[in-house]
Structure 1
């Protein structure tokens, strides 16, 4: 049995437009709760932009501290993998703890040295995300009117 490719998402009629992704998501959830076939819908973000939120200054100490956390997680993973081949329960605990400690130490060293070698470029920590100015809920043409009417008739509103 061959499946037909889905219709182009951008050619579908808009059944609702929202300022936030959460609002569009709640609208689709509302339709789902009211037994609408939501597999015929999509959420489209328009006017995309990348927003980078600066979290703070990144010093060598903070870079080393971040390296401790990353290294400890990596060390835990290595310790767990090595413990699969260890004989006896006592060796397993020693391998896991050793992996965490060595991972944290090497992570701190690599974090500190890596930041020191950056030459002062990018001395801040940040988080990036893509946001849209508007989020449209669209539906296949054959069910779009039903979706739009359902949102209006049942009194759904963003909030």
Structure 2
């Protein structure tokens, strides 16, 4: 049987695969959230279990896009002006540091030009969408369930430890 891990000849240590590979091992637990799977592996680690043999696998991955806000011209322009102002201020500070006797003029020029460029770039980008995406969103990759796999040599003891954790959690609630 081949595993996803390789053993180095000189040190005898196990290292992670360099290319994407399918996970191997036997299932020792299945959880509804990543947090629960992480807690299970943490319990294994606290019990001196060889966690280098453990893998958390998200099954049936989904890309979830959560809409955060509606975009308007005022939000786009104010955001563009703010990001441009920060960049312009940074450039102005650099110029004033390396220009002897320049004073505050490079900072003011950098700030004003940064705001102008930020406004132009934000307006151009928003206008190019032509109203097809008038919202801000955040994407997450989640799974329907999270399986904890373990290499066969320690799977039975891992399953026993996780069963004790589940029993302790059941009695605690």
Q: Contact 1:71–1:108 (CA<8 Å) still a contact in 2?
A: yes
Shift of residue 25, structure 1, vs aligned partner = 1.0
The alpha-carbon distance between structure 1 residues 144 and 66, as it changes in their structure 2 partners (threshold 3 A), is farther
Q: Which has the higher contact order (CA 8 A, sep 6+)?
A: 1
Shift of residue 107, structure 1, vs aligned partner = 1.8
1:62 aligned partner:
75
Shift of residue 117, structure 1, vs aligned partner = 2.9
Aligned equivalents of 1:134 and 1:59: distance in 2? 37
Q: Contact 2:59–2:144 (CA<8 Å) still a contact in 1?
A: yes
Give the TM-score normalised by the residue count of structure 1.
0.75
2:90 matched to 1:106? no
What is the aligned length?
A: 156
The alpha-carbon distance between structure 1 residues 36 and 108, as it changes in their structure 2 partners (threshold 3 A), is farther
The alpha-carbon distance between structure 1 residues 77 and 43, as it changes in their structure 2 partners (threshold 3 A), is farther
Aligned equivalents of 2:96 and 2:43: distance in 1? 47
Give the TM-score normalised by the residue count of structure 2.
0.70
Q: Which residue, out of 86, 95, 116, partners 2:98? A: 86
2:147 matched to 1:136? yes
Unaligned runs of 5+ in 1: none
Unaligned runs of 5+ in 2: 1-7
Name the Cα RMSD after superposition: 3.3
Aligned equivalents of 1:87 and 1:116: distance in 2? 38
Structure index of larger Rg: 2
